[in-house]
Structure 1
Amino acid sequence: MELHKAGKDLFLVFIIFRAYTSVEMHILENMALGKHAFQSSTHHGSVADRAVDGTLSQDASDNSCFHTESETNAYWEVDLGEMVFINHVTIYTRSDLWGPYSERRLRDIELYIGPSRNEYTRYGFYEGVLPKGIIHTFNLTNTVFGQWVRITRSESVVEFFELCEVEVYGYPSAYRYILNKRRAGVHVLNIALSQSLSILHCALICYNTNVCYGATFHEDTRMCEYLTSVTGVEADDTSMLIPLG
């Protein structure tokens, strides 16, 4: 079950995971936005960071796409800055390609995720030519824990490589675990309970509450457990009050 919220600077998705008799909910955000990116080579100043600048134009004339030289093993990768849980990766292809060979640049696309730049595992593959001007999402079978994300092609492809944006949707590890409540200077999660009519109701309450970062719905008791985050402040075991109206 998903709830979507659109905004100018942030795209949030509530993903609800079933685990035994409870439902765990997290907020997804683009973890790659503004992070440091790299590529195998650079063609005419089209640097790797263009794919994580938040500009969703698929026209290269807007300086929104990265571009490598024509080469084998061309790649693009981003350092997310920390280990995070990754749910899916979305790529934006260039729409203004021309010529009979241009679209072949995006053939047999591979998605790799790893804890470091030297330790990747392949989690996604698009076989064949990825058409120009489309938005393609690699939906992961299971949430992947990693810090580095690489987009590349099969070794047999020798061509230019370019994409206009890469979005890595996930959530920080601090939002998944309840950390030490007595330790100052870290993300601290306080728990608040309230009765809810359904899983959807539980999600909607959290969605409409600015300080709510996640929730767990317990089907047996119909109770909703909310998580709030406090940064740099020592927890005092107080609870957050959320109206059910």
Structure 2
Amino acid sequence: MVKFVHLSPVVVVVLSIQYADTRNVALGKPAYQTDTYFDNVEYLSAERAVDGNTSADNSCSHTSSFDAVWSVDLGDIYQVSSVTIYNRNDQRARLQNVEVYLGVEKDGPYSLVGFHEGAVGASYTFTLPSYSQARYVNITRNPPYQQLTLCEVEVEGRKKGSTFAAYPMSKYQDNTPVVTHNNVRSPIGCAYACYSSPECRSTNYNAADLTCELLGTPLEEAEDASSEYTALKRIG
């Protein structure tokens, strides 16, 4: 059996604030889209989809390109229970084959958590798995169809606490990962990915190549540590 080494753990608090009830955590948050119709006019900007106005007439985001993405930064990591999108009154067929992606870091990784096949009516709610975690919510269509218009996007969520311990390691834990994420820029991002997976019990994080392996087994411990790698163990 391969042995693994660690130093005294440094506790990393991933999420510590708790809310009893869910709320629309997208309201008023910074929003972005691939481009904006009519040369970036304000009344068609991405922020129109998070202004609290579900009217299908005068408060909608609108892109110029067909292969477009709309995104909102929730400002913190939330446990997300649902995403509701509101369509415009006319040309509703444009909003079809909608995909919803969640991510905890701006540069990814992102997970596809919802898909609506065909045209959306006045509105549609994507009910998400109970373990879904996100700071960033992206909405797109597959395949693209005309411009992307969203009259409102509501993200129901709450903050939920969890604690991980980080251990510098001399080598990886020698176990087959449940999944491997690429381009994860910090151990905290790796911990978020673990927290979002019901199967994850520990991780391997390599800062050199920005990979995060989620493991379904507890962290193995030994002696003689270095800091070439970081392992994370869920402790609360």
- Tell me if structure 2 keeps the 8 A contact 1:37–1:49: yes
Q: Does 1:164 align with 2:160?
A: no
* TM-superposed deviation, 1:143: 3.2
Cross-structure match for 1:69: 64
Q: Does 1:35 align with 2:29?
A: yes
Q: Which has the higher strand share?
A: 1
SS at match of 1:117: coil
- Once the two structures are superposed, the pairs formed by residues 156-195 of structure 1 within 5 Å of their partners are 156-173=143-160, 176=161
**Deviations 1:179-206, CA, capped at 9 Å, x for gaps:** xxxxxxxxxxxxxxxxxxxxxxxxxxxx
1:48 match: 46
Q: 2:83 is matched with which residue?
A: 89
For the residues of structure 2 that align with 1:70 and 1:158, how far apart are their CA atoms? 9
RCO higher in 1 or 2 (8 Å CA, sep ≥ 6)? 2
Equivalents in 1 of 2:78, 2:154: separation in Å?
A: 14
What is the distance in 2 between the residues matched to 1:116 and 1:151? 16
Q: Which amino acid aligns with 1:109?
A: V
The secondary structure found in structure 1 opposite 2:53 is coil
Where do residues 1-245 of structure 1 align in structure 2 (5 Å cutoff)? Answer: 26-44=20-38, 45=41, 46-59=44-57, 62=58, 64-72=59-67, 74-95=68-89, 97=90, 102-119=91-108, 120-131=110-121, 134-154=122-142, 156-173=143-160, 176=161
Would you say the 8 A contact 2:34–2:65 is kept in 1?
A: no
When the two structures are aligned, how many residues end up with a matched partner? 141
User: Distance between the aligned counterparts of 1:160 and 1:145, measured in 2?
Assistant: 28
Question: Structure 2: which 5+ runs fail to align?
Answer: 1-18, 164-236
Paired letter, 1:93? N
Write the letter of the residue equivalent to 2:106. Answer: R
User: What amino acid does structure 2 have at the position aligned with 1:70?
Assistant: S
Instruction: Give the aligned residue type for 2:31.
Output: A
Question: What is the Cα deviation at residue 83 of structure 1?
Answer: 0.8
2:135 aligns to what SS in structure 1?
Answer: strand
* Cα distance per residue 1:146-174 (max 9 Å; x no partner): 100011001x324111010000001123x
Determine the C-alpha separation between the residues in 1 that align with 2:146 and 2:158: 34
Could you tell me the percent identity over the aligned residues? 40
Q: Which runs of 4+ in 1 moved over 4 A?
A: none
Cα deviation code 1:64-88 (max 9, x no counterpart): 100001322x110000001111111
1:70–1:158 CA contact under 8 A, matched in 2: no
**SS of equivalent residue, structure 1 residue 84:** strand
1:28 CA displacement: 0.4
Structure 1: how far apart are the matches of 2:66 and 2:124? 23
For 1:33 and 1:50, how far apart are their aligned partners in 2? 10
Matched residue type, 1:26? A
